[in-house]
Amino acid sequence: MTSTPDPGPPPERVVVGAEEARRLVAAQFPRWADLPVAPVPDGGWDNCTFRLGGEMLLRLPSAAPYARAVEKEHRWLPVLAPRLPLPVPVPLARGRPTADFPHPWSVYRWLEGVPATARRVVDPVRFAVDLADFLLALQRVDPAGGPQPGLHSWYRGAPVRTYDGETRRAIEALEGRVDVELAGEIWETALAARWEGGDVWFHGDVAEGNLLLRDGRLAAVIDFGTCGVGDPACDLAAAWTLLTAEGRIAFRERLQVDGSAWARGRGWALWKTLTTVAGAVHEPGSTGVPTSATQVLDAIFSEYRDSGSAG
């Protein structure tokens, strides 16, 4: 069983500007030295992200823990890409650490699309089915030699029990703010639902910023920094964090998920939401539970009650 990870102190972040990124490109890839470099709005936390010309993307890890993904993505994305039904990033070049920037970094082909926010999705049920089809295809890829759960995946793919201590601390911290009794019951249900299958590929971070839309439909899946092989239940958390109630039903039916996997996926969604909420409400100046997190918790709680608690 995977031991509970010690997150340690927050990683020291390296914030890179467009001019610094341009100098890195010019020094290591002179053929692209004349291309413009521009920041990508909302480019994410784990990487400093830039457009390189009109057809490429730079991803520079913002801290050492996120740099672990570089070697993994260069090794495995070329293997995964031709087996998946939607475009995913494929590395074009790998940058070296320097005295000015201490991490390896990547150049990718630019993928068109906008983040999959709820208001942009034209048909929530179709979106859910398309996402399920993508995950099914990912799960069918041969897992032999794939990266096992660990620090590189933030323990996605490991048993949800990996985050037992963190989840229980969040539940305790939220006494009086959320239904902690129900949250504890859902968490215990997730812990009791053991994974007994073999290794399967998972994405690890199926979030709206990593799903791109074109014309309101799912068009690409990006950021495989947390991918690996293990229990794919971590990807099921999207059922509560991203999908409508109708979409959640279609998603589960398409994936043919049994009650045990569904309970584990619900547990992943609960862990992420509770720890996010607990962190937010105890920040100086906090005004309470963020609305988006409240909506996710409501979805988790209501779906659990409606399912008869067994999944």
- Give a yes or no: residue 166 inside a domain: yes
Residue the block writes with tokens 């490991």: 158
What pLDDT was estimated at residue 272?
96
What length does the chain have?
A: 311
For residues 157 and 268, membership in a common domain is answered with yes
DSSP for residue 174: T
pLDDT number for residue 3: 47
State whether 138 and 246 are in the same domain: yes
Instruction: Tell me whether residue 209 is in a domain.
Output: yes
Are 101 and 249 within one domain? Answer: no
- In which residue are the tokens 């990593």 written? 210
- Angle formed by the axes of helices 124-140 and 245-255, to 10°? 30
Q: Give the angle 160-162-164 at the CA atoms, nearest 5°.
A: 85
**Residue 13 in domain:** no
Asked whether residue 133 falls in the same domain as residue 22, the answer is no
pLDDT at residue 309, as a whole number:
61
Structural domain range at position 148: 115-306
The answer to whether residues 239 and 121 belong to one domain is yes
CATH number at residue 193: 3.90.1200.10
Phi, psi (rounded to 5 degrees) for 279: -65, -40
- Name the nearest CA neighbour of 54 among 110, 115, 114, 113: 110
| Number of domains into which the chain is organized | 2
Q: Does residue 256 fall inside a structural domain? A: yes
Looking at 67, 85, 111, the residue that finishes a domain is: 111
- Note whether 100 and 143 are same-domain residues: no
pLDDT in tens, 169-205: 999 999 998 999 999 999 999 999 999 999 999 999 9
Do 200 and 297 belong to one domain?
A: yes
Is residue 2 one of the residues assigned to a domain? no
3-state secondary structure of 65: helix
- Where a domain ends, among 84, 111, 138? 111
Tell whether 197 and 295 lie within a shared domain. Answer: yes
Amino acid letter at 190? Answer: A
Domain membership of residue 176 (yes or no) is: yes
* pLDDT reported for residue 5: 59
Answer for the pair 85, 133: CB distance below 8 angstroms, yes or no.
yes
Cα–Cα distance measured from residue 80 to residue 191, given in angstroms and rounded to the nearest whole number: 30
CA 289 – CA 274 distance, rounded (Å): 10
Number of helices (H), then strands (E), belonging to the chain: the values are 9, 10
Same-domain pairing of 119 and 253:
yes
Sequence-ordered alpha helix ranges (H) in the chain: 18-28, 64-80, 124-140, 164-173, 180-192, 238-241, 245-255, 259-281, 291-306
Residue 68 sits in a domain whose CATH number is 3.30.200.20
The reply to whether 101 and 135 lie within a common domain is: no
The answer to whether residue 311 sits within a structural domain is no
Domain end: 111, 142, 161, which one? 111
List the pLDDT tens digit at each of the 311 positions of the chain. Answer: 444 555 555 667 888 999 999 999 999 999 999 999 999 988 788 999 999 999 999 999 999 999 999 999 999 999 999 999 999 999 999 999 999 999 999 999 999 999 999 999 999 999 999 999 999 999 999 999 999 999 999 999 999 999 999 999 999 999 998 999 999 999 999 999 999 999 999 999 999 999 999 999 999 999 999 999 999 999 999 999 999 999 999 999 999 999 999 999 999 999 999 999 998 887 766 666 678 888 999 999 999 999 876 56
Residues 290 and 144 in one domain: yes
pTM, whole model, 2 decimals? 0.94
C-beta of residue 127 within 8 angstroms of C-beta of residue 116: yes
Per the domain annotation, does 261 fall within a domain?
yes
> Is there a single domain that holds both residue 100 and residue 155?
no
- Quick: pLDDT tens for 148-175: 999 999 999 999 999 999 999 999 999 9
